């Protein structure tokens, strides 16, 4: 059975892996951080209100960001966990997923409490903590996702991805 220290060690490995995978890090920064918060940071520029830019990251702004991000991440992680457990039927892995489910529930409770305590129409550290936890959760859950890995040629000595520009020019067909 996994202990909390083992789970936190696993989370640390996922964070290291996420920062070492440049394709994943680029997708994370562009799509989740920049484009994901587009509606929040664009609204003060679009409105002619006297509000400060950072005040757009208030309770409502962060709720409109955190709720969809968490729901899609939890749905995706749950499907991958069910498929993995169904294929492997490994008792040790199910213990890790049980801890993941527990920490997910704790995260949702903390995000809900943070957003409930955040004041409306003004930036606060409650809304910042809810947004940070949502982004961190997405990062940890998706860091080892195969969709964000560059295909590698296992026969190459370095194990690095092969960038064959001839394949790009010929439409994916090897010459």
The confidence score (pLDDT) of residue 129 equals: 93
In which residue are the tokens 């960038």 written? 163
Higher pLDDT, 163 or 152: 152
Q: In this predicted model, what pLDDT tens digit does every residue of 70-92 receive, in sequence order?
A: 999 999 999 888 888 887 765 55
The count of other CB atoms within 10 Å of the CB of residue 63 is 18
Q: In this predicted model, what pLDDT tens digit does every residue of 29-79 receive, in sequence order?
A: 999 999 988 888 777 777 766 667 788 888 888 999 999 999 999 999 998
Task: Report yes or no: 18 and 25 within 8 Å, Cβ to Cβ.
Answer: yes
The pLDDT mean for the chain works out to 81
Q: Is 174 exposed, middle or buried (0-12, 13-18, 19+ CB in 10 A)?
A: exposed
- pTM for the model stands at 0.77
């Amino acid at each position: 059975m996994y202990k909390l220290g083992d789970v936190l060690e696993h989370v640390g490995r996922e964070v290291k892996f996420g920062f070492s995978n440049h394709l994943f890090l680029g997708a994370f920064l562009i799509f989740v951080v920049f484009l994901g918060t587009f509606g929040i940071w664009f609204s003060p520029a679009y409105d002619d209100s006297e509000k400060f830019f950072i005040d757009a990251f208030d309770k409502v702004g962060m709720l409109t960001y955190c709720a969809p991000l968490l729901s899609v991440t939890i749905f995706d992680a749950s499907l991958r966990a069910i498929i993995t457990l169904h294929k492997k039927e490994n008792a040790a892995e199910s213990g890790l997923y049980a801890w993941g489910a527990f920490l997910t529930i704790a995260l949702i409770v903390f995000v809900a409490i943070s957003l409930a305590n955040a004041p409306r129409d003004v930036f606060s550290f409650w809304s910042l903590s809810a947004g940070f936890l949502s982004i961190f959760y997405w990062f940890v859950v998706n860091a080892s996702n195969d969709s964000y890995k560059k295909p590698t040629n296992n026969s190459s000595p370095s194990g690095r991805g092969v960038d064959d520009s001839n394949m790009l020019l010929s439409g994916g067909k090897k010459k």
